[in-house]
Amino acid sequence: MTTFTESWITREAAQVDKLTLKHLLSDETQYVTIGFDGGSTQGQASFLMVHATDQDGCAYFLDRVNTKSHKHSGQYYYEVI
């Protein structure tokens, strides 16, 4: 890795996360819908993506969870989300 990927991108991603949560928790945001969707890669890695949508229809990526080696049940999703 280079200094660019180790420092700048990591700091920017953390700042985006911070601003996203600040917006979603602000008084200006009337409601938030939380959603999730699973998928897999051609290499059979499976994952779950969690996102939020605000009242204006803007979607925000919140997290990606590696779900390989886990039973994809309602209980598992409840615990992860």
pLDDT at position 78, please?
Answer: 80
Evaluate if residue 72 carries a pLDDT over 60.
Answer: yes
- Sequence-distant (6+) residues with CB within 8 A of 70 are 76
Q: What is the pLDDT of residues 12-59, one digit of tens each?
A: 999 999 999 999 999 999 999 999 888 888 877 888 888 999 999 999
Is the overall model pTM greater than 0.85, yes or no? no
pLDDT at position 7, please?
Answer: 83
Q: What is the rounded CA–CA span in Å between residue 34 and residue 81?
A: 9
Please, which pLDDT band fits residue 1 given cuts at 50, 70 and 90? low
DSSP 26: S
Domain ranges of the chain: 3-80
The full length of the chain comes to 81
Count Cβ atoms below 10 Å from residue 48 Cβ, excluding itself: 19
pLDDT at position 29, please?
Answer: 93
Are β-strands 32-40 and 46-54 bridged in parallel, bridged antiparallel, or unpaired? Answer: antiparallel
